[in-house]
A and B are shown apart, each in its own frame.
Chain A
Amino acid sequence: MAFIQIVDLEKYFGEVRALSGINLEIEKGEFFTLLGPSGCGKTTLLRTIAGFYRQDKGDVYIDGELINNVPAYQRNTGMVFQNYAVFPHMTVFDNVAYGLRVRKLSKEEILRKVSAALKSVHLEGYEQRTPDKLSGGQQQRVSLARAMVIQPRVLLFDEPLSNLDAKLRIEMREEIRTVQKSLGITSIYVTHDQEEALVISDRIAVMNQGVIQQIGKPWEIYVNPQSTFVAYFVGKINMLTMRLGESAGQGLRRATSGNFSLFVPAEGTEQLHEAIVAFRPEDVAEAVRHDGQNTLSGTLKSVSFMGSVARFELDVEGQEITIDRYRPREADMPQRGASMSFEIPAPSMLLFDPNTGVRIGKGAQR
């Protein structure tokens, strides 16, 4: 049995079904992320594990123990809150010592453990500060130290970085990752930030409308999404609904939309007349010639310069398609209204059933 096991979990708020059919297995020491848009149920799931909510159906096991009836204060899960929840009437030291005092540890032991915890989050010397004298990042470090000092069976992170500014967010996520790995504490991390999830996690569960859409390593989630929702939510992707035509050999099939056609992977499309053809902007290659296979032309509508990448929004026969150019140079930048040609390699395409949104075929090659 996995270290944390969640079986057929269901949770209602009144009439609203917040979670349904949740099944998860998380291994000891793993950094596991729940990713999804707001209202998808990720925080509800986290709070159910912490014991703040009682599920309506299903079981939660930690380390082989069924914890459905264990009250929150006996679950030994350390939680890091979105708004830090640092006790404003206590010093940094007292905040971190709180859980140890509840556990009636000796003074010396508390002092030793708190010092070690503060050291690991780089807050030595802040022991006697009060929270109102700390920045947001420092408060979140206190929150992290406080949660991990009790050596919980599992660390729970509830969007811990969403209140921090962009630069600090990147710093903190690396720090969280380092501390977690060095202590080896199993962690469940909730976020709506897909980039954060990709960077920090061992595995990710993408959630939508109370249901887990896909579980996998960051690589799998990005490269091999199993539904349009996952493909759309993680990273930028182009999606075209196309009519499927005759087979073109070499495992390809012709697909048309309006006045243009593409050769798309045929695998698994036998029963279908239509498919959603998806491809990521970075997989599109700008083409010099206009007549290659899967080469399209479009009119440039807008350019977003993002530093390492320039992102072009093109109008291709009334369809909007986004393509990326790496290491852009100012001198080479096309003007709005310019015509651009590009090639979409068939192996990078992902096909989805337009009725169910489910992936067709196996994997994209990357």
Chain B
Amino acid sequence: MSAKVGTPPKHRGPRVDMWTVVIFAGFAIVVVFLIYPLFDIFRYSFLDKVTGSFSLSNWKTFFSKAYYLRAFWHSILIALLTTFFSMVLGIPLAFFTTRYRIRGTNLLNTLAVLALLSPTFIGAYSWITMLGRNGFLRLLFQSIGINLPPIYGAFGIVLADSLQYYPFVSLMTAGALMTIDRSLEEASENLGARSLKTFFSVTLPMVMPSVTGGALIVFMMSLSNFGTPMIIGGNYLVLPTLAYNLFTSEISQTPGMASTVSIILMLCASVVIVLQQWVSSRRKYASMLVNRPIVKQLKGIKSFLAHLLCYSIVFFSTLPLAVIVFYSFRKTSGPVFQPGFSLDSYRQIFFDVPKTVTNSFLYSLTAVLLIATVGTLLGFVIARKRNAAVRVLDPLLMIPYMVPGTVLGIGFIVAFNKPPLILSGTATIIILTYFIRRLPYSVRSAASILKQIDPALEEAGINLGSPPGCTFRTVTLPLMQGGIISGAIMSWVTSINELSASILLYVGKTMTMPIKIYLSVADGYFGTATAMSTILLVVTGVSMFIVNKYFNRGSEVFVSA
């Protein structure tokens, strides 16, 4: 131990390390791809359509014409109803699967999450094939003399949305129910309360923060959902579809009304996000898990009814997916389904529009690499380098949470079809949309993984002579790996299923699968639509499987990530 050990090379002068560059890049991303487009929308909403000068005419129009105001109330109503029904479905499912022995709970959770993660427009479209004008279920019911209400409009949207989004409530509630200290419920029973009384006076209040948290996510998702109301809404306009329609009809002029509607939609979303932050910041009754709740075994008819309830809920949410897969293997001739089975629809995709499939994969993959890299670096900065600049950057990076896809799409078009940065019609703009929409999730998840890694490990690396960048590469990154990859897979799923922003931004050569599905449905080419939807479902399912299998993450990760 007497030989001289070399010291690392010295450098003096201002300390610009790697993280300074990352923080700067974070600000650049926020300014160029969020503030600039959003400010452009804001600006357009105050420009007169004809003269192009400052005016309040768009805002006056919005608040004076029933056509616009109605869409606002529709949005609120749909979101409220969807939230209500998600709770009606989600809370009992959570309670029964966590407190009673229900066979196949894992399968139920997996199917529910698959339905949750699948593109919204697939579910909506499937309900049309079942309950649309010539839907097979409608015809079936008609043959026994029952006339179902028309699926187009509010009924269809709420039906499709509730059956897709209830897992937000059920998984978050289940998570809370599993971590309640058993002794609290036992104390209640010991003090003489019956089980029903205990449920309403002890159990439910304890899990309420989680229920509310899940419900607010549902409200938010439903409010900003574009695919479902677009496909199943018919003339029943909500804010995202109104903005889309206005934008596509204003294409030759300044998009004043579309911008105004976008701002209003964003304001609604912001209110919900603020509420959600408030709810999640309030105290959660997590316990030390000394006494996990008992899972009771039900007997006889009670057990049967509990199983029936749980399986029915999951069955109806998975049914649309099964129908789509089933139809994708039906024989087709042009737009019409024929009796018998074949791979016609798949063949058609690979002969007619292979570019659409490769586009989807290529764009999502590129976006995911960007998201994972940038998200991890920014997550690190937020978790570990809390200086004044980072404290400003942190909330800015969360802006995409409150920007519905439709709004971001409109913002990107108006901002990037003119100098200094022209991106319209390129693949880059679509990849950037995926990137921006997913970035806050990725940053948040990287930051939360880092919170579980002892900072002393990084200090040890630095102390042993390794510069910050090198320490990050050799110590931090290897420890974050699992979390980063499972987060990246989640980003992959949401990117490849993205419709609401990309539908505004695509041109012929940059078409992706979700867009093609939407267009095929609109044109009546159901074969192509079902086959492509099946491909997306398989991609989603396989990704979920990988996360579950190789990263030991439970179903909750899909809700939180």
Q: Contact: B465 with A76, CB < 8 Å?
A: yes
Q: Contact: A117 with B459, CB < 8 Å?
A: no
Q: How far is the CA of A89 from the CA of B480 in the complex (A)?
A: 11
Given contacts A70-B10, A102-B464, A109-B3, contact A85 B15 (CB under 8 A): no
Q: How far is the CA of A89 from the CA of B461 in the complex (A)?
A: 13
A 64-85 to B, binary, CB cutoff 8 A, 1 in contact else 0? 0000011111111111011101
On chain A, the residues within 8 Å of B7 by CB distance are 74, 76, 103
CB nearest to A94 among chain B residues: B474
In the complex, number of A-B residue pairs with CB atoms less than 8 Å apart:
96
Asked if A180 is an interface residue, CB under 8 A from chain B, the answer is: no
Given contacts A103-B5, A103-B8, A151-B1, contact A89 B463 (CB under 8 A): no
Q: Contact: B466 with A98, CB < 8 Å?
A: yes
CB nearest to A52 among chain B residues: B459
Q: Contact: B463 with A74, CB < 8 Å?
A: no
Q: Which of A70, A79, A117 contacts B463 (CB 8 A)?
A: A79
User: How near does chain A come to B439, taking the closest CB pair, in angstroms?
Assistant: 27
Q: How far is the CA of A152 from the CA of B462 in the complex (A)?
A: 13
Q: How far is the CA of A77 from the CA of B463 in the complex (A)?
A: 6
User: How near does chain B come to A313, taking the closest CB pair, in angstroms?
Assistant: 36
Q: Contact: A85 with B457, CB < 8 Å?
A: yes
Asked if B468 is an interface residue, CB under 8 A from chain A, the answer is: yes
Given contacts A85-B456, A100-B5, A103-B5, contact A72 B464 (CB under 8 A): no
Asked if A229 is an interface residue, CB under 8 A from chain B, the answer is: no
On chain B, the residues within 8 Å of A113 by CB distance are 1, 3, 5
Q: Contact: B461 with A81, CB < 8 Å?
A: no
Q: Contact: B460 with A85, CB < 8 Å?
A: yes
Q: How far is the CA of A89 from the CA of B477 in the complex (A)?
A: 11
Q: Contact: B468 with A83, CB < 8 Å?
A: no
Using C-beta atoms within 8 Å of the partner chain, give the interface range for chain A.
35 or more
CB nearest to B1 among chain A residues: A116
Q: Contact: B479 with A89, CB < 8 Å?
A: yes
Q: How far is the CA of A51 from the CA of B462 in the complex (A)?
A: 10
Q: Which of A51, A102, A105 contacts B466 (CB 8 A)?
A: A102
Interface hits, A85-137 → B, CB 8 Å:
85, 87-89, 98-100, 102-105, 109, 113, 116-117, 120
CB nearest to B459 among chain A residues: A52
Q: How far is the CA of A160 from the CA of B5 in the complex (A)?
A: 25
Q: Which of A50, A76, A79, A87 contacts B475 (CB 8 A)?
A: A87
User: How near does chain A come to B342, taking the closest CB pair, in angstroms?
Assistant: 51
Interface hits, A174-220 → B, CB 8 Å:
183
On chain A, the residues within 8 Å of B460 by CB distance are 79, 81, 85, 87, 143, 146
On chain B, the residues within 8 Å of A103 by CB distance are 5-8, 465
Interface hits, B246-273 → A, CB 8 Å:
none
Given contacts A73-B467, A76-B465, A146-B464, contact A83 B454 (CB under 8 A): yes
User: How near does chain B come to A215, taking the closest CB pair, in angstroms?
Assistant: 25
Asked if A300 is an interface residue, CB under 8 A from chain B, the answer is: no
CB nearest to A117 among chain B residues: B1
| Highest count of chain A CB atoms <10 Å: which of B1, B474, B475 | B1
On chain B, the residues within 8 Å of A98 by CB distance are 461, 464, 466, 474
Q: Which of A81, A146, A183 contacts B459 (CB 8 A)?
A: A81
Asked if B389 is an interface residue, CB under 8 A from chain A, the answer is: no
User: How near does chain A come to B11, taking the closest CB pair, in angstroms?
Assistant: 8
Q: How far is the CA of A146 from the CA of B466 in the complex (A)?
A: 13
On chain B, the residues within 8 Å of A88 by CB distance are 457, 479
Asked if A150 is an interface residue, CB under 8 A from chain B, the answer is: yes
On chain B, the residues within 8 Å of A99 by CB distance are 464-466
Asked if B12 is an interface residue, CB under 8 A from chain A, the answer is: yes
Interface hits, B7-24 → A, CB 8 Å:
7-8, 10-12, 15
Given contacts A73-B462, A74-B7, A116-B1, contact A102 B470 (CB under 8 A): yes
Q: Contact: A150 with B465, CB < 8 Å?
A: yes
On chain A, the residues within 8 Å of B457 by CB distance are 85, 87-88
* Given A105-B6, A151-B4; 9 other pairs, CB 8 A cutoff: A50-B459, A51-B462, A73-B462, A73-B467, A74-B465, A103-B6, A113-B1, A149-B1, A151-B1
27 CB contacts below 8 A, A to B, read A50-B459, A69-B12, A71-B15, A72-B463, A73-B8, A73-B462, A73-B464, A74-B8, A74-B11, A76-B7, A79-B459, A81-B460, A85-B454, A85-B457, A85-B460, A100-B5, A102-B464, A103-B5, A104-B6, A105-B6, A113-B3, A116-B1, A120-B1, A143-B460, A146-B464, A150-B5, A150-B465
